[in-house]
Amino acid sequence: MEIPTEPIGSIPRPPALLAALAAHSEGRIGDDELAARQAEAVADTIARLERTGSPVLVDGEQSKPSFATYPIAALEGLSPDGAVIPFADGHTRQLPRLTSGPFRYAVHAETYLRQARDHTRSPVKQAVIAPSALSLLYPAEGIEDYPRKAFLDDLVAEAEADIRGCLDAGAHVVQLDFTEGRLSLKLDPSGGLLEEFVTLNNQVLERFSPAERARIGVHTCPGGDQDSTHSLDVDYAGLLPSLLRLQVGNFYVQLAGEPDPDRVLSLIGDRLPAEARVFVGVTDPINPEIETPEQVRDRVLAAARHIPADRLGTCDDCGFSPFADDTSTSRETAFAKITARVRGTALATQALGL
């Protein structure tokens, strides 16, 4: 038995793609040329991930504008003045605001998965945005002729289609990105918003069979953008009991950048659902220092003191560039950290005698 290891999602874009994105936003190149540069970046990302020895691959989100907005980037009926997400270093990200219905995804993640699978025979994982994040698009004041319940019904149906399309297209695992889970406790310390998020996400997950849910996971982190976070100061103890109620087979938990990982591991070990696996973060994308395989090994061994080895996996804390314009981490650093994760996980497998 080997301890499984998987990437989370985004990889920094290569210079040629960053230049093409800037040129496209300024109207100097068209959609076709941008798509060509994105396709080249996907092929290069897959090839470089294979060279790290990673047993599971991702497309690095090279064609996504961001991990959160890919379904709505080309959607009409949006205004730019939606919910603002503040980060610890002072910068912000802002979601759009829905102005009309019905709500539909303009792009489904299956599109990215099929493009990636054209370049490899290895298992490919696909990240999708959790419906809880997109629920923030609906304005507090409501929308005339489109009540919130109708919006949520549409959102649940679209989120199901997003996941199911990836499963049907052969995704190794479909990962829901749920960074808003920890953030919700900063926005609403009572836990009411978090409960709404978990309930909404489970409404989608309940539409899948147990066998399908075994191929679905959820990722949580305190945000990771421009080497800053939005909710690292929120205690994991407030999140984990609710997070672990999500009906998935895999949990991907940021841990390498956590100030007290042993405490978090203890909380997980006490509550991990039967048959579920937890992938613990062993590399920190917002820390420029590249971990050694030995450091990764030791983090895995620490986790194994709380979690049975047959229910343990490893991952990166979060994506390396969740927004296309985030250049705080270099492409080379990202692949070096991934290589350390793969090698360190193998060292831990050997040390545990598996």
Walk me through the domains of the chain, giving residue ranges and CATH numbers. Answer: 5-351 (3.20.20.210)
Q: Directed axis angle between helix 31-52 and helix 331-351, to 10°?
A: 30
Residue 82 to residue 120: CA distance in whole angstroms: 38
* Alpha carbon distances (Å) from 313 to 42, 54, 221, 224, 352: 25, 13, 16, 21, 13
Is pLDDT at 54 greater than 90 in this prediction? yes
How confident is the model over 235-245, as a mean pLDDT? Answer: 96
Nearest CA-CA partner of 331 in 321, 341, 340: 321
Specify the residue for token string 């290589």.
339
Instruction: Return the structure tokens found at 81.
Output: 């003045």
How many CB atoms within 10 Å of residue 10? Answer: 30
Nearest CA-CA partner of 80 in 72, 70, 91, 90: 72
Parallel, antiparallel, or unpaired for β 92-94 and 216-220?
A: unpaired
Parallel, antiparallel, or unpaired for β 78-79 and 97-98?
A: antiparallel
How confident is the model over 201-212, as a mean pLDDT? Answer: 98
Are the C-beta atoms of residues 3 and 354 closer than 8 Å to each other?
yes
Nearest CA-CA partner of 19 in 293, 325, 254, 347: 325
Range of weakest confidence among 72-81, 170-179, 200-209, 309-318:
72-81
Phi and psi at residue 21, in whole multiples of 5°?
Answer: -65, -40
- pLDDT (0 to 100) of residue 41: 97
**What does the mean pLDDT of the chain come to?**
96
Is pLDDT at 241 greater than 90 in this prediction? yes
Q: Is 175 helix (H, G, I), strand (E, B) or coil?
A: strand
Is pLDDT at 76 greater than 90 in this prediction? no
At 328-353, the pLDDT tens digits run: 999 999 999 999 999 999 999 999 99
At 157-193, the pLDDT tens digits run: 999 999 999 999 999 999 999 999 999 999 999 999 9
- pLDDT (0 to 100) of residue 73: 86
Cis geometry, peptide bond prior to residue 12 (ω within 30 degrees of 0): no
Residue 262 to residue 60: CA distance in whole angstroms: 30
Specify the residue for token string 């598996």.
354
How confident is the model over 210-230, as a mean pLDDT? Answer: 96
- pLDDT (0 to 100) of residue 75: 86
Instruction: Point out which residues pair with 220 in neighbouring strands.
Output: 253
- Categorize the per-residue pLDDT at 327 as very low, low, confident or very high, splitting at 50, 70 and 90: very high
At 10-37, the pLDDT tens digits run: 999 999 999 999 999 999 999 999 999 9
Residue 190 to residue 61: CA distance in whole angstroms: 34
- pLDDT (0 to 100) of residue 77: 85
- pLDDT (0 to 100) of residue 242: 97
Start-to-end C-alpha separation, the chain: 5
- pLDDT (0 to 100) of residue 1: 83
At 84-127, the pLDDT tens digits run: 999 999 999 999 999 999 999 999 999 999 999 999 999 999 99
